Amino acid sequence: MSKSFPPLPDPDELVERKSAKNIRSMFDAISPTYDFLNHLLSAEMDRLWRRTLAKRVLASQPQRILDVCTGTGDVIFAIAKQAKKQELSPQYVGADFSLAMLRQAHEKSRRQGALSCSPTFIRADTLHLPFPEKSFDLVTVAFGLRNVENLERALQELARVTHPGGQLAVLEFSNPRMPVVRRLYHIYFHHILPAIGWLISGTKAYLYLPKSVSKFPDGKEFATILERCGWINVAVTPLTGGIATLYLGNRS
């Protein structure tokens, strides 16, 4: 199915230029196998990371939740499962600029109707969200900020639509600090993962993944950027030896 889409740009070019059009084309192309590869290539750890995010953000009992770069909606569904256990009923909005990914999200929502979360999925660019100021009390994004054309502008836009005191949760890949873990991670992430991704998706998109992670700020560096863009009380929590990191902050 991915071969019906236009050829993708070189992964190095995608990382350097971050063209919204090219990034969107990449996600359109991999949408049919996106969920399967996420779970396979992370050995199901991505489910655990999203579940960790969901448990942490629900402590404040948010009523209106926005998930940007929502993809197939996995963050929303992870939060909805935890919310149901806690008898909470927040409203969910998922935004993404890839129609192909949003179609997958809609289909998944139909299949998971038992959650009764009825999310609204809309096509929108994270840099230009179609919501008034202070519309949400929780904004989430998982593995998406690496792909935006302008990181600081995106974080400022997320702050704009969050009411003061509201929360931001960012889940992103990071570079492990322990030498042994970092070495093994590097071998897998830069050599084995792209090969498996290419075999299954038929695209070079999974060469882009490790390249984009290596260019993305993480840990204290990313926390500093968050603070510069209107977020305070930033907490940084490494997950699975630092392969991923959860960042939590509040709107100033």
Q: What is the pLDDT of residues 3-15, one digit of tens each?
A: 444 456 677 777 7
- The predicted pLDDT at position 7 comes to 56
Total domains, the chain = 1
- The predicted pLDDT at position 8 comes to 60
Q: Is 42 exposed, middle or buried (0-12, 13-18, 19+ CB in 10 A)?
A: middle
Q: What is the mean pLDDT of residues 43-61?
A: 96
Domain region containing 58: 2-251
- The predicted pLDDT at position 115 comes to 66
- The predicted pLDDT at position 3 comes to 42
| Residue 196 pLDDT > 60 | yes
High-pLDDT (> 70) share of the chain, %:
95
CATH of the domain at 57: 3.40.50.150
- Where helices occur in 20-136 by DSSP H, the ranges are 20-30, 34-41, 45-57, 74-85, 99-111
pLDDT digits (tens, 9 = 90+) for 97-116: 999 999 999 999 988 765 66
User: pTM value?
Assistant: 0.92
Alpha-carbon gap, residue 171 to 107, rounded angstroms: 24
Cβ-count burial 202-221 (b if 16+ within 10 Å, e if not): bbbbbbbbbbbbeebbbeee
Contact 154, 221 (CB under 8 A): no
Alpha-carbon gap, residue 21 to 25, rounded angstroms: 6
